């Protein structure tokens, strides 16, 4: 019989749902606190999402940006990790319902992050690919490489065009970085790998509904980014929204239609809260209303941190803090300190966001960065981008492998990991059902 | 409409089926020959099978041992690669039937290798995992890590035992290396990652029907291997065959029963020939009878090289050459030279196998190796094993990444890639059907 098997102690139990930036920083902050920490995640690894786009474009191995959660916490004795999917909460009993059984809590922290928002458009949801998980990034890589292989089997230009039109929707960092990486693939890799491919038919579009890309940065950075992308051959269309899509024809708000079979969607994210929360605290975008201690409104011991929480205590951010790693990390850390202080009779301190800046890479030798009042662009910003990402990547081995990949790619103009991992035809064994398989197929 | 779209030239066309060790060495040998080379593979990468077991045991990224075939041949102008699955051959027309259409050939070379042989036992085939493809290795990694996670959710020892009994069937290099790697996982990784796991219940069995492991090597090496494995905690059972399995109870020929839910099968391989070959040339083990030029009996222009071909011109190997990379590489190379010579009016030279030796790693600092009349074991053999494998691995980037992983693992006793890549619950997009998807699910 499946049961969580978490030992009962006389310490209060903090249950954290989600091993993203918020969850792991909270768990670390509780290292020496007199609590029992239970960390739950549906995966057994922490994912470094900022580099997902490089996995999707065959620049990095999937394993390089994932770090096993058990590895992170192997020296933290007060922490128990369980791979689990959360179903809901019974607040009156202080019990969390999961697929591995009920788990009692004294403090519950929801740190489930966000997922792709298709804004209710079912057809787009069915045909477009989001990019929030490792498996999605690998799917994009597989899918894109398959498009190139399949183009070689076609003679009719009208069949080839939609396969070679790659459309990124959403001009945030994800869309910008994906578009830039595709432009580099076209320039450096495809002519060598696919000399027979009619590359002049390949187009890369970046479509953004608002007037500029990277809207969270300054107008100068936005302009430089758009120029940089145009320079390497991306068609940037701002002030343009997606109206409709049927799996082939993408209708835009300016009346244009692009034929594409490769629609990559990063136009928005939303929260996926757990059920059982008080009425009215879950907003239409799935975020949960919290006070400036990250406490969920209407509860006394349930918190929400990171993307999933919406806190309105800063006039600079009237719609809540941006859904970025920085906020999650800082909220996780502070909630940890608050819980610790509270147990010693101290008061909770309100959260104050310290904006450390933001950056996005456009392509080889080219990025934009803004921090501490400085604005960088070009080569220097690109170096800064690499250093910041390497430093934040979890684990020495991952840092090293990523560095080697970048180093290698810089000097050889090559990308190592352009392989299509697919399930074999007949010889795949059906493994027995597992509690960790919500999907009937084998997991991978 | 899908068609192979291979340009017609006045050069004779050599169609190679399979991008393994045999296929790529043949293709390379034809680099400057006045022929058109068409290389087909169901995957877009060459797989370095000797290191598969390290992927299965979370020591290496899958991408590190796969190298894109297009990358290997990007400078070879007379070669066209197509991702394709072969269905059969129409010999009277010199046409190969594939899932991307018919392909005409002047020379056809079958280099499809071998796959796991379950010797007709359907129940074992259904429940055991083979290890011949990248996806199988990743499946093993996922599966094994899931067993550990699931054990934590169980209290009843009778439920935990079968999950922690890992049984390798087949005492060849694959079984030996897998068993050794599992023993290292148990010793160095699991106590840290799973402090709550009842590790004393974990057993690693290596079962071999013949009287000794590594039967292709000397008796001394066999003995040292068995001793080395026992030393690190593997239960080696030679002269023991598998009688039956029902998914839980594994019945052995000595009357013992082992309860296991983790049965890894490397007890044999067989060929999977294409249909349409002359009657009688395909042997019961799926290999194709060839003469000493690798020509398929009863044909004039169809060849079989590597594992799939069975050549009987060497009294040392009365059942044909061993199904190892060395034979495939040498046969590929020589067939290339023969075809080139033949086109210039020269004669085909018969194949002569030059045995370069063999080796297997048992664990940290411990391996056996035999070459040029020398027998090594222990640390020196282990170093030799690493050097030989690194040198033979395709591509500078892969060599570097593998080296870094080994280096890191040696000094930290850590394994970086112990992540479970699984398909998410609900948010996976169903991508449109592709010619490269024999499976209805998304490929990965």
Per-residue pLDDT of chain A (444 residues; tens, 9 = 90+): 899 999 999 999 999 999 999 999 999 999 999 999 999 999 999 999 999 999 999 999 999 999 999 999 999 999 999 999 999 999 999 999 999 999 999 999 999 999 999 998 888 998 998 999 999 999 899 999 999 999 999 999 999 999 999 999 999 999 999 999 999 999 999 999 999 999 999 999 999 999 999 999 999 999 999 999 999 999 999 999 999 999 999 999 999 999 999 999 999 999 999 999 999 999 999 999 999 999 999 999 999 999 999 999 999 999 999 999 999 999 999 999 999 999 999 999 999 999 999 999 999 899 999 988 889 999 999 999 999 999 999 888 889 889 988 988 888 887 767 888 765 433 333 444 455 543 333 233
Number of domains in chain A: 2
Name residue, tokens 């010793």: B187
Is A139 close to B428, i.e. CB distance below 8 A? yes
For the whole model, what pTM was predicted?
0.92
B28 lies in some domain? yes
B305 lies in some domain? yes
Cα–Cα distance measured from residue B111 to residue B17, given in angstroms and rounded to the nearest whole number: 5
Residue B425: pLDDT band by 50, 70, 90 thresholds? very low
Residue B234: pLDDT band by 50, 70, 90 thresholds? very high
In this structure, the answer to whether residues B214 and B338 fall within a common structural domain is no
Residue contacts between A and B (CB atoms, under 8 Å): 285
B286 contacts on A by Cβ (under 8 Å): none
Is A63 close to B68, i.e. CB distance below 8 A? no
**CATH code of residue B297:** 3.50.50.60
Which among A43, A115, A412 is the nearest to B420, CB-wise? Answer: A43
A408 contacts on B by Cβ (under 8 Å): 396-397, 400
A393 lies in some domain? no
B418 contacts on A by Cβ (under 8 Å): 44, 68, 70-71
| Residue in A with minimal Cα distance to B395 | A416
d(CA A348, nearest CA chain B) in Å: 33
In this structure, the answer to whether residues B93 and B179 fall within a common structural domain is no
In this structure, the answer to whether residues A334 and A242 fall within a common structural domain is no
Residue A423 CB partners (closer than 8 Å, separation 6+): A442, A444, B135, B439, B441, B443, B444
B129 contacts on A by Cβ (under 8 Å): 429, 431
Q: Is the pLDDT of residue B430 over 50?
A: no
d(CA A316, nearest CA chain B) in Å: 33
CB B274 within 8 A of CB B112: yes
d(CA B378, nearest CA chain A) in Å: 27
d(CA A154, nearest CA chain B) in Å: 6
In this structure, the answer to whether residues B130 and B240 fall within a common structural domain is yes
A398 lies in some domain? no
In this structure, the answer to whether residues A204 and A179 fall within a common structural domain is yes
Question: Three-class SS string for chain A?
Answer: CCCCCCCCCCCCEEEEECCCHHHHHHHHHCCCCCCEEEEEECCCEEECHHHHHHHHCCCCCHHHHEEEHHHHCCCCCCEEEEECCEEEEEHHHCEEEECCEEEECCEEEECCCEEECCCCCHHHHHHCECCCCHHHHHHHHHHHHHHHHHHCCCCCHHHHHHHHEEEEECCCHHHHHHHHHHHHHHHHHHHHHCCCCCHHHCEEEEECCCCCCCCCCCHHHHHHHHHHHHHCCEEEECCCCEEEECCCEEEECCCCEEECCEEEECCCEEECCCECCCCCCECCCCCEEECCCCEECCCCCEEECHHHEEECCCCCCCCCCCCCHHHHHHHHHHHHHHHHHHHCCCCCCCCCCCCCCEEEEEECCEEEEEECCEEEEEHHHHHHHHHHHHHHCCCHHHHHHHHHHHHHHHHHCCCCCCCCCCCCCCCCCCCCCCCCCCCCCCCC
Percentage of chain B lying above the pLDDT 90 cut: 84
In this structure, the answer to whether residues B254 and B129 fall within a common structural domain is yes
B137 lies in some domain? yes
| Residue in B with minimal Cα distance to A141 | B444
Cα–Cα distance measured from residue A22 to residue A323, given in angstroms and rounded to the nearest whole number: 11
Is A139 close to B442, i.e. CB distance below 8 A? yes
Is B153 close to A435, i.e. CB distance below 8 A? yes
Beta bridge partners of A378: A367
**CATH code of residue A157:** 3.50.50.100
Which among B66, B128, B426 is the nearest to A419, CB-wise? Answer: B66
In this structure, the answer to whether residues B203 and B108 fall within a common structural domain is no
In this structure, the answer to whether residues B254 and B151 fall within a common structural domain is yes
Q: Average pLDDT in the B197-202 region?
A: 94
Q: Is the pLDDT of residue B432 over 60?
A: no
Cα–Cα distance measured from residue B197 to residue B191, given in angstroms and rounded to the nearest whole number: 8
Last residue of a domain, one of A242, A267, A292: A267
Is A425 close to B439, i.e. CB distance below 8 A? yes
B54 contacts on A by Cβ (under 8 Å): none
Q: Is the pLDDT of residue B427 over 70?
A: no
Give the three-state DSSP class for B63.
Answer: helix
In this structure, the answer to whether residues B100 and B127 fall within a common structural domain is no
In this structure, the answer to whether residues B185 and B224 fall within a common structural domain is yes
Residue-number span of the structural domain to which A66 is assigned? 13-116+269-343
In this structure, the answer to whether residues A109 and A237 fall within a common structural domain is no
Among B267, B320, B250, which residue's Cα sits nearest to residue B116? B267
Q: Is the pLDDT of residue B384 over 50?
A: yes
Last residue of a domain, one of B206, B234, B267: B267
Q: B interface mutation test: which of A70, A158, A185, A435 has the most B CBs within 10 A?
A: A70
Residue B1: pLDDT band by 50, 70, 90 thresholds? confident
B31 lies in some domain? yes
d(CA B348, nearest CA chain A) in Å: 33
Is B404 close to A400, i.e. CB distance below 8 A? yes
Cα–Cα distance measured from residue A319 to residue A321, given in angstroms and rounded to the nearest whole number: 7
Least confident piece of the model among A22-31, B224-233, B396-405: B396-405
CA-angle at B358, arms to B353 and B360, nearest 5°: 155
pLDDT of residue A440: 31
In this structure, the answer to whether residues B224 and B135 fall within a common structural domain is yes
pLDDT of residue A434: 53
Last residue of a domain, one of A232, A267, A302: A267
Is A135 close to B432, i.e. CB distance below 8 A? no
A420 lies in some domain? no
pLDDT of residue B434: 54
B35 lies in some domain? yes
Cα–Cα distance measured from residue B191 to residue B206, given in angstroms and rounded to the nearest whole number: 22
d(CA A38, nearest CA chain B) in Å: 14
């Amino acid at each position: 019989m499946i049961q969580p098997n978490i030992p009962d102690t006389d310490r209060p139990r903090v249950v954290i749902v989600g091993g993203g930036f918020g969850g792991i920083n909270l768990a670390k902050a509780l290292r020496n606190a007199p609590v029992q920490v239970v960390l739950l995640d549906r995966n057994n690894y922490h994912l470094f999402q900022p580099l997902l786009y490089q996995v999707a474009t065959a620049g990095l191995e999937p394993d390089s940006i994932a770090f096993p959660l058990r590895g992170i916490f192997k020296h933290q004795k007060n922490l128990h990790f369980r791979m689990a999917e959360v179903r809901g909460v019974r607040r009156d009993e202080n019990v969390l319902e999961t697929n591995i059984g009920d788990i009692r809590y004294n403090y519950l922290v929801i740190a489930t992050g966000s997922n792709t928002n298709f804004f209710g458009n079912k057809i787009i949801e069915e045909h477009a690919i989001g990019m929030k998980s490792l498996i999605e990034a690998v799917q994009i890589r597989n899918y894109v490489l398959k498009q190139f292989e399949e183009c070689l089997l076609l003679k009719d230009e009208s069949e080839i065009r939609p396969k070679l039109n790659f459309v990124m929707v959403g001009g945030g960092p994800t869309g910008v970085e994906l578009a830039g990486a595709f432009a580099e693939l076209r320039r450096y890799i495809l002519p060598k790998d696919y000399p027979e491919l009619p590359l002049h038919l390949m187009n890369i579009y970046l479509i953004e509904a608002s007037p500029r890309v990277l809207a969270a940065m300054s107008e100068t950075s936005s302009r430089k980014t758009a120029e940089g992308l145009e320079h390497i051959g991306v068609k940037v269309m701002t002030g343009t929204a997606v109206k409709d899509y049927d799996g082939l024809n993408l209708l835009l708000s300016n009346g244009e239609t692009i034929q594409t079979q490769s629609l990559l969607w990063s136009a928005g994210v939303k929260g996926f809260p757990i059920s059982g929360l008080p009425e009215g605290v879950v907003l239409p975008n799935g975020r949960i209303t919290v006070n400036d201690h990250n406490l969920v409104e209407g509860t006394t011991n349930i918190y929400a941190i990171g993307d999933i929480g919406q806190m309105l205590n800063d006039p600079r951010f009237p719609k809540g803090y941006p859904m970025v790693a920085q906020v999650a990390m800082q909220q996780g850390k502070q909630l940890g300190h608050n819980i610790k202080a509270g147990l010693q009779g101290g008061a909770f301190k309100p959260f104050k966001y310290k904006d450390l800046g933001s950056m996005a890479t456009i392509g080889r030798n080219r990025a934009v960065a803004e921090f501490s009042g400085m604005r960088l662009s070009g080569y220097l910003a690109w170096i800064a981008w690499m250093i910041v990402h390497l430093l934040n990547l979890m684990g020495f081995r991952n840092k090293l492998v990523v560095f080697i990949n970048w180093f290698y790619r810089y000097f050889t103009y090559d990308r190592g990991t352009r392989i299509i991992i697919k399930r074999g035809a007949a010889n795949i064994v059906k493994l027995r059902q597992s509690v960790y398989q919500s999907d009937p197929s084998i997991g991978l």
